[in-house]
Structures are given as C-alpha cells and as structure tokens.
Structure 1
Amino acid sequence: MTTGIPTITATLTGWGRTQPANCQVARPQSLESLQEVIASAAPSSLIPRGLGRSYGDAAQRAGGMVIDLSAFNRVELDVQAGTVTAGAGVSLDQLLRVLVPAGFFLPVTPGTRNVTVGGAVAADVHGKNHHVEGSFCNHVRRVQLVDGAGRLRDLTPNGDPQEAECFWATAAGMGLTGVITEATFSLIPITTSLISVDTDRYSDLDALMAAMVAADTRYRYSVAWVDSLHPRGRGVLTCGDHASLSQLQADGSEPVGEPLAYDPKALAAAPQFLPGGLLNTWTVRAFNETWYRKAPKHRQGELQAIAPYFHPLDGVSDWNRIYGPKGFLQYQFAVPDAAAHLVPTTLEALRRVGAPSFLTVLKRFGPSNAAPLSFPQPGWTLAADVPAAVPGLLEVLDQLDEQVAAAGGRLYLAKDSRQSAAMFQRTYPQLDAWRQVRSQMDPRGVFSSDLARRLEI
C-alpha cells in the first residue's frame, strides 16, 4: 500500500490481552485520506479500530493495517430533534460529557463508556435496557461510511430496500462492510444526572432469575451480579431509571446543587504487573463474599451517579491487568427463555474447572432487530470474565458452546476470542444473507480481521 499517510507498527490485542498481533496502524486526518487508504488497499488487509475494548481479536489484523479514526471527532447536538451526530472516533465518555449537562443520555450504553461511536455501531452494543429499548442500532438514524471501493455512502434503516440492507449489515457487522465515519442517533431526555436505583439481594439463582423476569415490565434498566462461586448462585439485582428533579429536592424545596452535573473520573490504576496466581478461587471467593454482603437486602429509590451505576469498572483504569500477563477471556452467550437452565449449568461448569469469575453479569434481552449479526435475542444473557490460563477451560467452553448452539443461542462477537468457525456459522443463521450484502459493499474483499479469519466469515 502506498499512501501519503504516516503509519506506525504496533503489537495490538483486545481488552482480554490475548492473541497479540503485529499490525500497521494508520491515522487518516480527513475523509479524503481515508478513502485513499481504502482505495489502495490489498484484499483482506484492513480493519478499523476504536479504543480496543473488543475482548478478543475483532479489531486487529495480523500482518495487515488497522485504521485509527480518532481524527473523526465531530460532535453536533440537535437539541430540538433530540439527536446527536458524532464522528466514529468519538468515545461514549466524550459524548456523555456533552450530552448529560445538556439534558440528554445515550439511548444505550454498554458496561464501559470507553467505546467509540463507530465501535458501538459495529458491535451493535447492548446495555441494561435491552428488554425495553433494544440495542444501540435500534436508535441510529443514519450511518456514514466508506465502503470497500472507497465510496462515501449514507445509510439509513428506513431508506430504499438496498440501502436498508446495507445499513443493517453494517450494524453489528464488526467493521467488515466498510469504515464508519459518523453516525446520527436519537437520545433519551433527562432532567438529572442521577439514577433512581432499587436493589435486592437474593440467596439463590432461581429467586434472582424470577425477580428479573418480573422486573422486565417495571424498570427501564435491570442487571444482576451473580456470585459465580456460590453453589446456589446467589446474587444482587439492581434496577432503575433516570431520577426526576422532584427526587432531588430537599425538604420539598428547590433541587439541590447542579441537577445535570457530570464529571466521572478513574479512581485508581491497576498495577502494571500482577502475578498470575493472585486472581484465584480463594481471592475471588473472598471478593464475592464481601460484594454480596455489602449490598442491601432491599433498598428503594437510592440515587446513584451515572458512572457507578452504568460503568463501575471504569473507576479503575486498566482494570484488565488484574488478570496478570496471560490475560483473560469473557464467555458471553444469549439463549431463549426455554434454555434458562444454561445459566446455572454454565456457572457450575466454570466452578468445576476452577475458573474464578468476580465479574459475572446476568441480563434480560428483548426482541432482536434486523441486523443479521446482532447478538441479542429474547431471553437471557450471561457474561463471565475468567483468567485465560485456567487448565482445561477451553475444553469446557467448547462443551458449553454445543449446549448453547443446541438451545438456539449464540456468542457475542465483540467479546469472543475462541469460538470455532463451525459454532459461529451454526448459530448465526442469517450469515449467508449478510455475506451477500457484504460482497456488494466490499467487492474487492478489502476488510478483514483476525476474528473474521478465525471464524471464516
């Protein structure tokens, strides 16, 4: 590739810090320079990359080029329409610092605000409100991207059929249909920067899951932390919605302070190196016991700031280093309600193999959208972070994959680092239709990633 854009060589990994890849990194400063990079690229040589929060190999291309879109940083808020147009390189953290003081919130936010707008579209990220409002791309009104021929395209979900097909192929398309340059999406109006949270503690998984089903129709946001090492799977359920001005009033008087104040900060940094044995069954069991006991048995209407409720781990910068130099992986699946038994089955399998997880999250999903590669489907999603070096772990996960597939479930591409091509192709039934649209958008096959190569996409 010969362009005038400076490149550097870098060793990249996903957030799990496994599978390092040597890549060229290009940072185009304009739309024209981006088009030049794409137009001159060889087949299977390019993939865009945001902040590197995909856990596995989705945003790297060994021996190829990664496109850094940090220069695409425009933010334009339309207060009247309740929408924002943001460049693909803008992080959700940057956006929230603009939106919240103006009285708006993201329509969907994942568990970290350190994700770019381009990445949010490319992975069709989901949050604690999927059971009510779906995933991120449900709220996107327009995507601008450069396709594999170097053409600038505007895509909307409600355009002509071919345009809509291209839009939905790009949603959750993991950067394989083109390079997103900006997106316009709708927002949630808010009057305060606080969340009114109800918390309940459950001594077993059955009671917790029953409460989550009941919460589907009562709360906008719902998420459960599960003690993965406890034999009964006890947990803590937190549900809520944006607090109103009246909830901030003191003694029935005027609202206290700045109701839309927002200034989150990372509180600490994880050590640069931790011995691989520090995170083990004993230390995680102690952490889980403390976390469970500190949660109230029942509390209603507690006012929490946005950051600790939606992005608790962002309070520790580089928290992925706690797993030590060998890194970690996340096992996240979605299954229908009829396969709810796979939640305790998975927790038991991880306990049996000795894979400690202090971050085990259970959520409810609502209806899927029209994106062929979108992960959410109605039912349950469980996510567990575990050290990558646990002996026998990969064999156990392969066995769990078979059960997930047999139940009609699937794994999340943005978190995956090890599923097989056969598993992926079996569990995403619209893959062939997606491939047809992708071939129209990238006729030379320019876009590829280590994930795409591993899964034979």
Structure 2
Amino acid sequence: MKPVSSWGRLSAHPHRVVGLTDPVRVKSLVCHGNQLGVAYGMGRSYGDVCLNPEATLWLTTGLDHFIAFDDSTGRLVCEAGVLLRDIQRLTVPRGWILPVTPGTQLVTVGGAIANDVHGKNHHVAGSFGDHVHSLTLIRTNGEVIICGPHEQPDWFAATVGGLGLTGVITQAEIQLRRISGPWLDTETVHYSNLGEFFRLADDSEVEWEHTVSWIDCIADDGGRGLFTRGNPTAAGDRPAPQRRKLTMPVVPPVSLINQLSLRPVNMAYYYFKKWQAGRAITHYESYFYPLDNLLDWNKMYGPKGFFQYQCVVPREVGPAAVQAMLKEIARSGSGSFLAVLKTFGNRRSTGMLSFPQPGVTLALDFPNHGQRTHKLFDRLDAIVREANGRIYLAKDARMPRELFEAGYPRLAEFMKYRDPGISSSLSRRLMGS
C-alpha cells in the first residue's frame, strides 16, 4: 500500500499499486485480484476518476511499447501506457502528428481514450476517440474484447470516455494526421467582453483549425481575455525552441494562487500578452502544452490542493450562462488564473459518457478553501443545470449525483457494459458502485 494522488492533490490515500508491464501477464493480474481495481496511468486526471482508496490500482505506465507504425498511412499500434509525448517525438519528424491532444502530452494513450480527451480543434477533429481504429480490452472475468467503430461498436462506445470502468485497455490502433512540419501559424487577439469572444470564436471556425482563449475571470469590467488561433504551416527548416524546463520544487505552506496574487498576476498576464498580440510562427509544443514546461505546477496550490471546474453548456445559452458564472465567481471573492474558454463543434461524441457536446466550455482552477469553495461550486452547478449542460468527469471531484445523471443521458445504456470487478472513487460517488 502506498499513498496516491490525482493531479488536484486533494487527497493521498493508501492504494495497493500493481504494476502492469508484461502484456502476457496482464490478464492474470487483472483477473485474480481479491479487490476491486481500476487502471491508473500518469494520474493527470484532476479529481477521483483514477483513484480507488484502500483497494487496487493497476499501473499501466509499464505497458509502454510501440508495436507497429506505418509511415505511408499514419496508422500506429501501441500499448496503452505509451505517452502522447513519446508518440509525437517519434512521429512528428516523420510527418505525422496526433489529430487531437489535451493541454498536456504527459498522459497515456489508455487515459486519453478512457476520458475521451479533447483539444483546441474540436470543431474540426472531434475528440481523441474519433481517431481510434481499435482497442483491446481485458475484463476482470478473463474476457478479451477487441472493439472499434466497426467491430463491436457498442463496446467501443462504452469504453471511449468510459472512465476505465469497462475493463483495462491494453493496446490501441490510432490514426495520425499528416503534417508538413512541427510549426503553426498562430495569431493572438485581445478581446474586451464576452460578445467579442463569441464573435471571434464564430468567425474563426471556418479558417482556423485550433482556437482557444484565456479569460480574466476577476477583471472589474468582466469578460476580457486573449483569443489564440492557429493553423499547421510549412515553415521550412528552423531550429525548435530550446525550452528550459522548470520545476516547482516544494509544496508551499499556502496556495500561491490567492486573493493577494490573483488580480495583479491576471492583470500583468493580460497586458503583457496584449502587447505581444499578433501573428507568429509557433512550435506545436509551445502552442499546445505551455504548462508542460513547468513540472509539478500543481504544487503551487499548496497542501490542500485544488479543484478544476470544467463545464459545457449549449451554444444558444452560452453567453448568458458564462456571464452568470463569471458574476458568481466575482461575487464569491475567489478567482482563477488558469481560466480557459473555448467552443465545441456541432458534432456527436463517440463515447456514451464523452464530455464534449455542441456549445461552449469554461474551465477554471480554484484553490481548495473547503466549504467556501464548495458553496461557489453549488452556485455554478445551478447555472449549468438550468442551461442543460454537463461537468467534465476527468476534472471532477465533487459533482452531485443528480447533476451527473441529468448531464449524461446515455448513462443507463453505459451501465450494461460496466465491469463488476472495476470500481473507482468516482464510480462509487456517482454510480453507487
């Protein structure tokens, strides 16, 4: 038994950690345990989706082998513990890149599938599961299921975004996207209010593949931010930036993100980036994964950890709902530096429990201030509920069960595919087992 946390560092309860390293032995380890287990990769989920206190975690990072890569088609077969970073360091020099990635590439393939992660280009490429051709799933009863969009598609739809609850993913075949190099033509535009953000988002969807914005959620005038958009480009031979990695060496005694620091930090960031606004040629790692350059950045929130609150609401009510959430945050006296606002395209998700739906998504990090933070979340929940939105399960650590059931209408369908030998803190909190 050893203490294990997720990225939010809200707890560090003991777990029985069982390393999966040999594909031949995975079935025996998963099938013959005497405790309910769940797969654990890099632990980059913010809440409790990957935790199972006082019981078993199957650590998948040892399943880290590449099996096959076809340079002519971009088809990659690999084990589930391979990191997205390692895929791209192998394939980008060969002219291929993952079509969809989240805000960090330090996640496993299995985790990306189980949480059906999305990126800055949902309106063009959907989510991660849209680019998986097949996967291998081992159930705790010994059954091995190979599924994909055209082979046992019901099992595939349950497993993509299925939070690791249908079995242990051990292998996947992924379709990569052809690129002419590691560069993007990017543009940063500052906006003064939510109306300007939505006009930028709508106008950018046709001509730009990647769109995202940082929003200052505590500015007095409300809703100002920085909108960034990008397209892959052939920029010729140029040296990749030398990115010096920094590390948060210790956990400070209190959160560095607090009422004294938030306003000046947000203001400085906004005006500095506004001064830098315009076009640039940007390396894909700098554009997609800016926080990967600061290792262990989650420690900055102090010993109590932090929550991330990410929701999506339908586009037609998006402006009113986002404005209402920003007002609640301002009224609470809390705030977030890492506040991201972006739109999702008008497309149906592959997974039964996938998060993306057509609309606008807001993601914010909050230091854990106990009851005060939970009261704010209750008020944000009420706005999401009224808007017929949902909360992202990969980020959640406290959503009430009724909001989960309202936000995920395919839950009853998904439950038919659950593995009774798999359980997590999240599944017990939201599904009862």
1:429 pairs with 2:418: no
Secondary structure at the aligned position of 1:70 is classed as coil
Secondary structure at the aligned position of 1:408 is classed as coil
1:450 pairs with 2:425: yes
Which moved further from structure 2: 13-22 or 387-396? 387-396
Match of 1:4 in 2: none
Distance 1:380 1:401, change over 3 A: same
Q: Partners in 2 of 1:373 and 1:424 — Cα distance?
A: 10
Secondary structure at the aligned position of 2:145 is classed as strand
Q: Partners in 2 of 1:189 and 1:39 — Cα distance?
A: 39
Which moved further from structure 2: 20-29 or 234-243? 20-29
> 8 Å contact 1:19–1:56 — kept in the other structure?
no
Q: Partners in 2 of 1:191 and 1:239 — Cα distance?
A: 18
1:65 pairs with 2:45: no
> 8 Å contact 2:61–2:108 — kept in the other structure?
no
Q: Partners in 1 of 2:269 and 2:242 — Cα distance?
A: 22
How far does residue 21 in structure 1 lie from its aligned partner after superposition? 2.1
| CA RMSD across the alignment | 1.7
Structure 1 runs of 4+ aligned residues shifted over 2 Å read 255-258, 263-266, 296-301
The match for 2:343 among 350, 359, 364 is: 364
Q: Partners in 2 of 1:20 and 1:71 — Cα distance?
A: 22
Match of 2:65 in 1: 74
1:378 pairs with 2:352: no
The match for 1:225 among 214, 218, 221 is: 214
Letter in 1 for 2:397: S
Letter in 1 for 2:201: M
1:148 pairs with 2:140: yes
Q: How many corresponding residue pairs?
A: 428
Distance 1:286 1:390, change over 3 A: farther
Letter in 2 for 1:131: H
> 8 Å contact 1:272–1:321 — kept in the other structure?
yes
How far does residue 407 in structure 1 lie from its aligned partner after superposition? 1.6
How far does residue 290 in structure 1 lie from its aligned partner after superposition? 1.4
How far does residue 102 in structure 1 lie from its aligned partner after superposition? 1.0
Distance 1:291 1:437, change over 3 A: same
Match of 1:5 in 2: none
How far does residue 287 in structure 1 lie from its aligned partner after superposition? 1.2
Unaligned runs of 5+ in 1: 1-8, 249-254
How far does residue 264 in structure 1 lie from its aligned partner after superposition? 7.1
The match for 2:373 among 393, 399, 408 is: 393
Which moved further from structure 2: 392-401 or 369-378? 392-401
Letter in 2 for 1:233: G
TM-score by length of 2: 0.95
Which moved further from structure 2: 175-184 or 66-75? 66-75
Match of 1:85 in 2: 77
Unaligned runs of 5+ in 2: none
Match of 1:131 in 2: 123
Q: How does 1:40-439 map to 2 (within 5 A)?
A: 40-42=32-34, 45-75=36-66, 76-159=68-151, 163-231=152-220, 232-244=222-234, 248=235, 255-257=236-238, 267-296=245-274, 299-340=277-318, 341-366=320-345, 367-389=347-369, 392-438=372-418
How far does residue 330 in structure 1 lie from its aligned partner after superposition? 0.5
How far does residue 391 in structure 1 lie from its aligned partner after superposition? 5.0
Distance 1:131 1:71, change over 3 A: same
Letter in 2 for 1:448: S
TM-score by length of 1: 0.90
Secondary structure at the aligned position of 1:437 is classed as coil
Q: Partners in 2 of 1:59 and 1:38 — Cα distance?
A: 16
